Amino acid sequence: MNVKNCHIITLPVFPDGDDGKLTFAEGLRTIPFEIKRVYYIYDLEKPDAIRGKHAHKKLEQAIFCVNGSYTIGLDDGHNKEELFIDKPNKGVYLGTGLWHTMTNFSKDCVLLVMASDYYYESDYIRDYDQFLKFINSK
Active site positions, annotated:
54
For 88-120, how does the pLDDT look when each residue is reduced to its tens digit (9 = 90+)?
999 999 999 999 999 999 999 999 999 999 999
Strand order in the sheet with 90-94: 6-10, 90-94, 61-67, 110-115, 37-41
Asked whether residue 47 carries a pLDDT value surpassing 80, the answer given is no
Per-residue pLDDT at 138 exceeds 90: no
Average pLDDT of 76-83?
A: 97
Q: What is the mean pLDDT of residues 38-44?
A: 96
Question: pLDDT at position 43, please?
Answer: 94
Q: Which residues pair with 38 in a beta bridge?
A: 114
Rounded to whole angstroms, the Cα distance separating 109 from 2 reads 26
For residue 46, pLDDT beyond 90: no
Confidence of residue 55 (pLDDT cuts 50, 70, 90): very high
What domains are there in the chain, each with its CATH number? 6-13+23-136 (2.60.120.10)
- Report the Cα–Cα distance between both ends of the chain, in Å, rounded: 21
Mean pLDDT of the chain, nearest integer = 96
For residue 1, pLDDT over 80 is answered with yes
Q: What percent of the chain has pLDDT over 90?
A: 96
